[in-house]
Structure 1
């Protein structure tokens, strides 16, 4: 079990959480998602890959919700 009070989260986890929050804010602002939105494990894994690839939250939202041609 992880106790945040005793052991702060790794910086990458903090940055990922902030990125996911910004991703959601952008996706909501442009109408891709509507509350309530549930982030399932598969989506979280995919978005973490976008984060690790260096995409911005807006780029991640566009890539995730974009239409494949």
Structure 2
């Protein structure tokens, strides 16, 4: 997980990039989004929270886009 600083190590940046790519692929696979997709600021903020909470990319896609009960 990432700390709250604005500085990413190369390792953290690679982890975040891989996680984000996997999240995007999961969201497409689940039919929530289609390419090209550009998340707005609110989605990016939620994704940071999901990543820091330790959600897997598939879980984050569902949390981000699935209907809320």
TM-score in terms of structure 2 length: 0.78
Q: For structure 2, which runs of at least 5 residues remain unmatched after alignment? A: 1-7
Q: Which residue of 2 aligns with 1:68?
A: 68
Q: Which residue of 2 aligns with 1:32?
A: 32
State the 4+ residue runs in structure 1 displaced beyond 6 angstroms.
Answer: none
Aligned residue-pair number: 61
Q: Which residue of 2 aligns with 1:16?
A: 16
Q: For structure 1, which runs of at least 5 residues remain unmatched after alignment? A: 1-8
TM-score in terms of structure 1 length: 0.78
CA RMSD of aligned residues (A): 1.3
Q: Does 1:41 align with 2:41?
A: yes
